[in-house]
Amino acid sequence: MGKKSKRKQVLVCCGTGCIANGGLDVYQAFKNNPGGLFELASSDDIKATGCHGLCSSGPFVRILPDDITYCQVKAGDVEEIIEKSIKGNELIKRLLYRDPQSKKRVQNLEKVAFNSMQLKKALRNVGLINPESLQDYLDRQGYQALRKALKMKPEAVVQEIIDAGLRGRGGGGFPTGLKWKACQATTSTPKYIVCNGDEGDPGAFMDESIMEGDPHNILEGMLICAYTVGAAKGFIYVRDEYAGSVAALTKAISDAREHGFMGDNILGSGLNFDIEIVRGGGAFVCGEETALLASIEGNVGEPWDKYVFPTEKGLWGQPTVINNVETWSNVPLILLEGAKKFASTGTAGSKGTKVFSLVGKVVNTGLVEVPMGTSLRDIIFTIGGGVPGKRKFKAVQTGGPSGGCIPESLLDLKVDFDSLGQAGSMMGSGGMIVMDDRTCMVEVARYYLQFLAGESCGKCVPCREGIRSMLEILERICNGGGCLQDLDLLEDIGETVKTAALCALGRTAPNPVLSTLKYFRDEYLEHIVNHRCPAGVCKELSEFYIDAELCNGCGLCAKNCPVDAVQGEKKQPHVIDNSKCIKCGECINDCQFLAVKVR
């Protein structure tokens, strides 16, 4: 923004989370400029941007250069914001972010713990630019990396990526530079460049935020790779549900073509490259790269054995470089700041940053980008603000549905590709779901296995039949019909699926089971031996009661009980009638005094 810094700019978050909370209405209200109340240098100074990150407090309105961020803004607040903070220099206190720790209102959101520990590299433009504006991207060094690359030898560009130590952000963690090098070395043509935007993990939106918030960044990464390996055609495979991503990418591709960044003879360099968007068909397994390639080819989305890498035989049997959205968005930055600078962040084996979508039982939910090697504790407690209410942290599930659950004892784990794998989980594409003591770990394993039972492609026996069998056992345990031999059988089948399944989905599918068995075996034993679900989740194995010592008779549980099973006088301890109770858990969730217990 540099020289224009005197000018007031309004950034309205129109990421998916904020849109769901009325972000577009807020943006429109600014655009309508009620009563011509304020003058901006140009209408470009009101920007609908991508995700600002702290989704639990959106929609956001950020005013620059003063750097005021208002939270949970409604369209009805816009007139007041214009009057006081744009025309005037007054703060609207009630709209400022309230820091959960200090309880103070904060003007500059960049300074709160949620943001101050983050390092935005892949997300460097997301939330700051209008994703529909090529000019906005150009103003932030857009396409400078491509210009730089085009002046270098292709081998030198690949070497830069190798030296940076960039590893695939989609979950595999394969060194990106080596992948490019392998493809560069092949002589067969045509070659293809593919971007994997089939983000299917429940609760994950890292890639969506980049596709929606900074689409040119992805295109630039792909263009640089196309130049280095000699490809003329690229595909971006976008999860079908991501209509916003498709729209943003379509606009970006068309603008890039119009301005000579894509098409024939790009920037006069002789490079020809174009990109086509392919929408997914709604199958989680198509996030697996060979299944994705099969899907682009028009075949059923089933993976194939990768004993020959896609860099040699990929799309239509031709050399193909396939990387994930976040990986692509790191590429231009590496060229801009240099491999050395990029590699100065991170751990020995994992360089740079990683974007996580931090969700679940955590105060600040949202999109988080931290240097590799940041501890889980910092991510969950400092950035995330810990577990809400008086509940205790129990586990964090990383890596999507086929990731593992990591217990409190490992919270100081420095997060990178290798450490998460060693802990029995995985980086995956960066999902991070926090669970509190109201979570039953057996039920969690059952839930993810149920997801995977529907989302496995069903091609190979270990995955299809192994998941079916493990799910059957878990359902039995949750319903109170488990036996001790079940645990051995779970481990036995789990090990086979882990080693014998065809693709990464299958090989990681037992993670939810094996990791919970490893770290929360006592919960399995409680279910099986004592017929008790300690978290009070499995209905057949739960019975609730109210601790008379802790209950102050506020009556909230009685009021909210859907079957009138809670009785008691005001200000007197209440009791639960177990003959009526349907074990929905409403009372236990409501109680601020933790008086509702599981027997």
Partner 1 sequence: MKILIDGIEIEAQPGETILEATRRTGIHIPTLCYHEAFGGQGSCRFCMVEVTKNGSSRVVASCTYPVNDGIEVKTSTPQIDKIRRNIAMLLYKRAPNSLFMQTLYKEYLCTENNLVEDPYEKCILCRLCVNACAAMGASAISTVMRGTDKRVATPYDDASAACIGCAACAEVCPTGCIEVQEDNNIRRIWNRDFTMVACEECGKNFATREQLAYIADRSKQEADADELRLCTNCRRKVLARKLETFNG
Q: Is 211 helix (H, G, I), strand (E, B) or coil?
A: helix
Parallel, antiparallel or unpaired: strands 353-360 and 431-436: parallel
Per 3-state DSSP, the chain is made up of helix, strand and coil in percentages (nearest 5) of 45, 15, 40
Query: Directed axis angle between helix 461-478 and helix 484-500, to 10°?
Result: 160
Residues 191-210 that bind partner 1 (CB under 8 A): none
Least distance CB 465 / partner 1 (angstroms) = 4
Residue 460 makes contact with partner 1 by CB under 8 A = yes
Q: How far apart are CA 593 and CA 394, in angstroms?
A: 19
Angle at CA of residue 106, ends 101 and 109, nearest 5° = 100
Which residue lies nearer to partner 1 by CB, 75 or 178?
178
Q: Are strands 320-324 and 97-98 parallel, antiparallel or unpaired?
A: unpaired
Three-state SS string across 52-95, please?
CCCHHHCCCEEEECCCEEECCCCHHHHHHHHHHHHHCCCCCHHH
Contact 582, 563 (CB under 8 A): yes
Give whichever of 325 and 503 is closer to partner 1, judged by the CB atom.
Answer: 503
Binding partner 1 (rule: CB under 8 A), the pick from 104, 454, 552, 563 is 454
Q: Does a cis peptide bond (omega within 30 degrees of 0) precede residue 512? A: no
The beta-strand segments (E) located in 242-342 are: 263-266, 271-279, 320-324
Binding of partner 1 at residue 535 (CB under 8 A)?
no
Strand partners for 238 = 197, 279
Q: Which of 72, 469, 479, 589 binds partner 1 (CB under 8 A)?
A: 469
- Closest among 108, 130, 125 to 31, alpha carbons compared: 130
Q: Is there a contact between 156 and 286 (Cβ–Cβ < 8 Å)?
A: no
Binding partner 1 by CB under 8 A: which of 456, 508, 511, 516? 456
Per CB under 8 A, contacts with partner 1 among 514-533 are none
| Binding segment toward partner 1, per CB under 8 A, in 112-120, 146-154, 392-400, 497-505 | 497-505
Tell me, residue by residue from 17 to 56, as one string, x for binding to partner 1 by CB under 8 A and - for no binding: ----------------------------------------
Rounded least distance, CB 502 to partner 1, Å: 6
To which residue do tokens 């399995």 refer? 524
Q: Which range touches partner 1 (CB under 8 A), out of 219-227, 403-411, 469-477, 551-559?
A: 469-477
CB of 30 to partner 1, least distance (A): 45
- Transcribe 442-506 into DSSP letters: HHHHHHHHHHHHHHS---SHHHHHHHHHHHHHHHHHHTT---HHHHHHHHHHHHHHHHH-SSHHH
Give the interface size with partner 1 as a residue count (CB under 8 A).
39
Choice between 371 and 466, CB closer to partner 1: 466
Q: Pick from 173, 366, 466, 536: which binds partner 1 (CB under 8 A)?
A: 466
Taking the least distance from each CB to partner 1, the nearer of 90 and 472 is 472
Closest distance of CB 501 from partner 1, Å: 7
Contacts of 2 (CB under 8 A, 6+ apart): none
CA gyration radius, the chain: 26
102 binds partner 1 (CB under 8 A): no
Region label for 127, one of left (φ > 0), alpha (ψ between -120 and 50) or beta (otherwise): left
Closer to partner 1 by Cβ: residue 413 or 501: 501
Please tell me whether residue 472 binds partner 1 under the rule CB under 8 A: yes
Residue choice 2, 492, 549, 569 for contact with partner 1 (CB under 8 A) = 492
| β-strand pairing of 544-546 with 596-598 | antiparallel
465 touches partner 1 by CB under 8 A: yes
Does 502 interact with partner 1 (rule: CB under 8 A)?
yes
When asked if residue 489 is in the footprint of partner 1 (CB under 8 A), the reply is: yes
Helix or strand run (H / E) with residue 47: strand 46-49
Indicate the residue among 53 and 482 with the shorter CB distance to partner 1.
482
> Shortest gap between Cβ of 487 and partner 1 (angstroms)?
12
d(CA 118, CA 374): 10
182 lies in the site for partner 1, by CB under 8 A: no
Tokens encoding 81: 């914001």
Minimum CB separation from partner 1 for residue 404, in Å? 21
Residue 457 interacts with partner 1 (CB under 8 A)? Answer: yes
166 touches 158 (CB < 8 A): no
Q: Which of 453, 556, 575, 584 binds partner 1 (CB under 8 A)?
A: 453
Q: What is the 3-state secondary structure (H, E, C) of 321-368?
A: EEEEHHHHHHHHHHHHHCHHHHHCCECCCCECEEEEEEEECCCCCEEE
Residue 493 contacts partner 1 per CB under 8 A: yes
Stretch that binds partner 1, among 81-89, 252-260, 380-388, 480-488 (CB under 8 A): 480-488
Please identify, using beta-carbon distances, which residue of 496 and 589 lies nearer to partner 1: 496
Name which position in 250, 382, 496, 589 contacts partner 1 (CB under 8 A): 496
Under rule CB under 8 A, residue 582 binds partner 1:
no
Q: Per CB under 8 A, does 175 bind partner 1? A: no
Report if residue 76 touches partner 1, rule: CB under 8 A.
Answer: no
Q: Judged by CB under 8 A, does residue 507 bind partner 1?
A: no
In the region spanning residues 269 to 308, those forming contacts with partner 1, defined by CB under 8 A, are 283, 285, 300, 304-305, 307-308
Residues binding partner 1 (CB under 8 A): 283, 285, 300, 304-305, 307-308, 452-462, 464-469, 471-473, 483, 485-486, 489, 492-493, 495-496, 499-502
